[in-house]
Amino acid sequence: MTKLTLGSHPYLLGFEQLERLLERSAKAGNEGYPPFNIEQTSERSYRITLAVAGFSEDDLAITVEERQLLIRGRQSEDASERVYLHRGIANRQFQRTFLMADGVEVAGAEMENGLLHVDLERAEPERVVQTIQIKSGENK
């Protein structure tokens, strides 16, 4: 029995890239830190919210490369001589990866009360109707 994939299905032409995206998504290896929400804010916009308590704007980096949104956090080392009796606030670096569909762009990001909000927007797709001329086999 052969395995049917998106790239080999006879009616799905050119979807090999989608299959690669699904594989990359499965390998992203996101752990549970930091926790996040994804909400749909309108028909064509979304908001990713990460709980980044203890991080400043300078400790965070947001990049987009090859339709992949990457959010990294790295806190600077605390050089003071603090003595903790209990340390329950995580002070560790993180990396969160989100794959974005074609046409989805990052509209902006903001910090508010220990939450990082990343807003995404999907562009209105352009509707194209194309008529294909059929050539006669005699004109070769």
pLDDT tens digits, 54-68: 899 999 999 999 889
Q: How confident is the model at residue 117 (pLDDT cuts 50, 70, 90)?
A: very high
Per residue in 23-45, pLDDT (tens digit) is 766 666 556 889 999 999 999 99
- How high is the pLDDT of residue 104? 94
Per residue in 72-89, pLDDT (tens digit) is 999 877 667 778 899 887
Beta-bridge partners for 121: 45, 105
Residue spans per domain, the chain: 1-29, 31-124
Q: In what order do the strands lie in the sheet with 104-112?
A: 36-42, 45-51, 115-122, 104-112
CATH number of 31-124: 2.60.40.790
Q: How confident is the model at residue 114 (pLDDT cuts 50, 70, 90)?
A: very high
